[in-house]
Amino acid sequence: MDELLFVKLGGSLITRKSAASAVRPRVIRRLAQEIRGALDEAPGLRLVLGHGSGSFGHVVAHRYAVQSGCHDWLGYALTSAAAARLNRIVVDAFLEEGVPVVALQPSASARCREGKLVDLAWQPVAELLQHQLVPLVYGDVALDEVWGSTIISTETIFACLAHQLQPTRVLLVGEVRGVYTADPHLDTRARLITYIAAGRQMPESVDIAGSNAVDVTGGMHSKVDIMAALVRELPGLLVQFLSGSRPGLLRRSLLDRELNPGTRLTGRQ
């Protein structure tokens, strides 16, 4: 197995978004163990990891409106620190489980314009992969040429890196099974969307639910839009939304491309 995968651990999975800076250490450790197990079973597997900011970054970013230009630049510093704090927790847990992660701070090289990421240093990611290391990025603040400041999501970072590194799959690992028609935490009628064919545009029949938690990067709608655009630009790329709450599912998904535990998104019609 010789494959490059991008894997995002969602903020709602590794933190409790209902409370500020509330981490889920047992979940993070289990996910690290599953990734270590997959790497052991498939030595040719290469990974770029990312994680969301969850209750660490989103709450303070929302308070200071960092995503659309700070009204108080202290908010930029506080949001940056919060995102880095969570990243340190994730890095330490993964290293303790034997996953050779190396954190890369996106805001150190990101260049944005009106909320859009237009440039990011990808060469360090490529070089780390050559040394059998696992680059780890995360949702972060960024300077913006027009707005002053903004927030760049892990999905946005992945989309930027994907054009240079050409992964075969992107796995977005969240708290729930995948993309739903409504928030499954609030609506018992919520239906899982198992397959989305992005084609040239999103089908009108796909009704994607938002989230009741604070999310300054647009929530599930934004995630699907970013990934749909990416699969249209990179033919053959497969995006999979799946749950990290089910023990063992991430490991199995890393090893089996055909497994469909949640929602599959492709560029096919």
Would you list the domain boundaries of the chain? 3-266
Q: Which CATH number fits domain 3-266: 3.40.50.300, 3.30.590.10, 3.40.1160.10, 3.30.300.130?
A: 3.40.1160.10
Tell me: pLDDT of 20 over 90: no
Q: pLDDT category, 186, cuts 50, 70, 90? A: confident
Q: Compute the mean pLDDT over every residue in the chain, rounded to the nearest whole number.
A: 90
Q: The pTM is what?
A: 0.91
Q: pLDDT category, 22, cuts 50, 70, 90? A: confident
Mean pLDDT confidence for 120-141: 97
Tell me: pLDDT of 204 over 50: no
pLDDT for 215: 52
Q: pLDDT category, 8, cuts 50, 70, 90? A: very high
Mean pLDDT confidence for 17-29: 86
pLDDT for 243: 96
Q: Using H for helix, E for strand and C for coil, what is the string for the chain? A: CCEEEEEEECHHHHECCCCCCCECHHHHHHHHHHHHHHHHHCCCEEEEEEECCHHHHHHHHHHHCHHHCCCCCHHHHHHHHHHHHHHHHHHHHHHHCCCCEEECCHHHCCEEECCEEEECCCHHHHHHHHCCCEEEEECEEEEECCCEEEEECHHHHHHHHHHHHCCCEEEEEECCCCEECCCCCCCCCCCEECEEECCCCCCCCCCCCCCCCCCCCCHHHHHHHHHHHHHHHCCCCEEEEEECCCCCHHHHHHHCCCCCCCEEEECCC
Mean pLDDT confidence for 11-34: 90
Mean pLDDT confidence for 188-199: 88
